Amino acid sequence: MFKNPIYLLWLVLAVGFAALLRARAASRRRRLTRILGEPATLTRLVPSETAGRRRLKSALLLSALALLFAALAGPQWGVELVPARSDSRQVFIAVDTSLSMTAEDVPPNRLEKAKRELSLLLASLQGNRVGVLAFAGEAGILCPLTTDIPAAKQILSGLSTASIPVPGTAIGTAMRLAVSSLQRYPGGKALVLLTDGEDHHTDPLGAAEEAAAAGVKIFAIGIGTPEGTPLPVKEENSGALTGYKKDLRGQTVISRLDEKTLIDMAARTGGGYWRSSPSEDEISEIMRQIMGLEKSQGVVGTSHQYRNRFLFPLGLAFLLLLAEMLIPLSDRPAGGPLSASNRSQISRVGAASLLILLVLLPVRAAAWGQESALRDGNRFYGQRRYQDALQKYREAQRPGDARPEFNSADALYRTEDYEAAVPRFRRLAQDAKAPPELRAAAFYNLGDALVRKQDYTAAVGAYRNAVLLAPGDQDARHNLAVALRMLRHPPPPRQQCNNPKNTPQQSKNDASRNKKAGQEKSSPQSQPSAPRPLNQMSKEDAQRIMRSVAEKEKTAKNPQQVMAPRKQQLPEEDW
């Protein structure tokens, strides 16, 4: 594959034209030879090797010319992951999936109408970072902030009143969850609410003030009618109507669109409110206001890119030109000495070649030595000879290459020298010039080391940064959840062993990743891969810790509070 294949056409034209010129020059040379004298006489004056060497030098020059044009064409093979950057805005869409969304005052019902609006919003937000959450009595993120709009659309088919099993309507909870995710990003941030506005005891106006303080604008779309309608109760299998929802007093529940609350929330953040319409024109107005928000540049993912290999034909062309210079056009005449001009030419060519070799060889030798040391360090690492690996990684250190530093920190982690590993991982993680995948891996390993040191507060921050840089990393998300649980309810101290296994979630194929980090890079453009510490805690171990913490909480409850009689309270509204 070639980056600029048009140069291949120029290659054919250039080589053909050069060959034509060489053939014309040879023809003129033969005519001049016949004019100068008899061929037999000229043969005695000019050695027979001259014609063959002239053809060889011409072939070398033509080949070098072809290789130069091939280098200009940009040959590419092999792929690498590169960070993709884009100017984008951050938008969360919160969809109400409570029982009140089954009301049919908006055909076919409020939830289906909200799903259509959601689909249009996602299609209009291409190129921006978008997340989707659902809420009823609680709120949950169905799709974290991402630029992969088709992936976000996949949740539409499974969106239903069963998406959040807790009954009720908690707009304030949903808003706080969305704001906590959005406030980590710079630039314009927006929250689009698709709801009927009925909220039960979660202070949505207070949540709106918190959103305004975080710089998040709320755009609300009211689904329903102010007059309201009863909530139908249908059979699960057949969908046949069996009655209408009753409250605790036995009265039919009428669910109404609460526009006042939605208008007040939007006004406090500088956003806007629209009632859903059959033509859905409100989507275009909301998009106009969202597009007016400030954009921020950041990494939106990774993309596959072919590696440029133009140095190979370029280097070969240089060697051919050098070889053409070293080949003399004529041999020594019949046992006679070399002429002064020939000796001068050979001396100049030899001196130039020697100078080039003297310049290039130390550079290449140093690079080969560093790569060899890195490979040896990875080999020792795979053999669990971490001290030997550390020594080799020190030898492989060079400016601009983060692999030895990362692998050194990893080896220190293996030796349980967390005091030395933490600052190295932190330095790599906070390097703004480092690629995002390397920083994400450094934050991940930093969190593991901090958990070993029982510094759960700092570990939570490290895992959060790892999730921000790599939103699709499920291991980092799992570790963040475990670290948060440990922060709130620290487990009892455990005795350390030589092969620790009490850190969160084990990543896969770590040893192979570490070797890959040292062996794949052959050019400055390549970036180190992200090895992660071995011997981490499995999901089963994490769940066991969570169960033990839960049991500890249960036994720590005040017996008087458990045994004290409580007044009978009516359950909250479940729609």
Which of 7-16, 46-55, 311-320 shows the lowest per-residue confidence on average (mean pLDDT)?
46-55
Residues 122 and 145 in one domain: yes
What's residue 283's pLDDT? 93
Are residue 465 and residue 494 in the same domain, yes or no?
A: yes
Instruction: Answer yes or no: do 420 and 549 share one domain.
Output: yes
For residues 154 and 62, state if they share a domain. no
Does any domain span residue 573? no
**In-domain check, residue 463:** yes
Indicate if the pLDDT at residue 216 is higher than 90.
Answer: yes
Residue 230 has pLDDT above 60, yes or no: yes
Q: How far apart are CA 345 and CA 350, in angstroms?
A: 9
Q: Are residues 51 and 130 in the same domain?
A: no
* pLDDT of 537: 43
Nearest to 89 by CA among 173, 210, 191: 191
**71 and 90 share one domain:** no
Within a domain: residue 8?
A: yes
pTM for this prediction: 0.46
The band of 43, judged by pLDDT with boundaries at 50, 70 and 90, is low
Residue 320 burial (CB count, 10 A): 20
Could you tell me which residue, 499 or 22, shows the higher pLDDT? 22
In a domain, 362, yes or no: no
Residue 222's nearest CA partner among 102, 106, 92, 104 is 106
Q: Looking at residues 477-506, what average pLDDT do you find? A: 60
Contact predicate 449/418, CB 8 Å: yes
Give the Cα separation of 510 and 505 in Å (integer). Answer: 13
For the residues 227-240, what does the mean pLDDT come to? 84
> β-pairing, 129-135 with 90-96?
parallel
Instruction: Looking at the structure, tell me whether residues 148 and 263 fall in a common domain.
Output: yes
Query: Which of 49-53, 354-358, 453-457 shows the highest mean pLDDT?
Result: 453-457
For residue 122, count other CB atoms closer than 10 A to its CB: 20
| pLDDT over 50 (residue 533) | no
Within-domain flag for 363: no
Q: Please, which pLDDT band fits residue 177 given cuts at 50, 70 and 90?
A: very high
pLDDT band at 4, cuts 50/70/90?
confident
Task: Annotate 45-62 with b (16+ C-beta within 10 A) or e (fewer).
Answer: eeeeeeeeebeebbebeb
Residues 489 and 505 in one domain: yes
Number of domains in the chain: 3
DSSP secondary structure letters along 510-552: HHHHHHHHHHS--STT--------SSPPPHHHHHHHHHHHHHH
60 and 112 together in one domain: no
Q: How far, in Å, CA of 218 to CA of 265, rounded?
A: 7
3-state helix/strand/coil string of 57-115: HHHHHHHHHHHHHHHHCCEEEEEEEEEEEEEECEEEEEEECCHHHHCCCCCCCHHHHHH
Confidence category of residue 349, pLDDT binned at 50, 70, 90: low
Instruction: Give the residue with greater pLDDT, 67 vs 301.
Output: 67
Write the pLDDT tens digit of every residue in 88-110. Answer: 789 999 999 998 999 998 988 99
pLDDT tens digits, one per residue of 383-395: 888 888 888 888 8
Digit-coded pLDDT (tens) for 179-191: 998 888 888 899 9
User: What's the pLDDT at 331?
Assistant: 56
Same domain, 477 and 451: yes
The candidate with the shortest Cα–Cα distance to 294, out of 209, 190, 148, is: 190
CA end-to-end distance (rounded Å), the chain = 60
Same domain, 47 and 146: no
Same-domain status, 448 and 523: yes
Full residue range of the structural domain in which residue 69 is found? 1-75+309-328
How high is the pLDDT of residue 520?
A: 37
Q: CA–CA separation, 306 vs 18, rounded Å?
A: 32
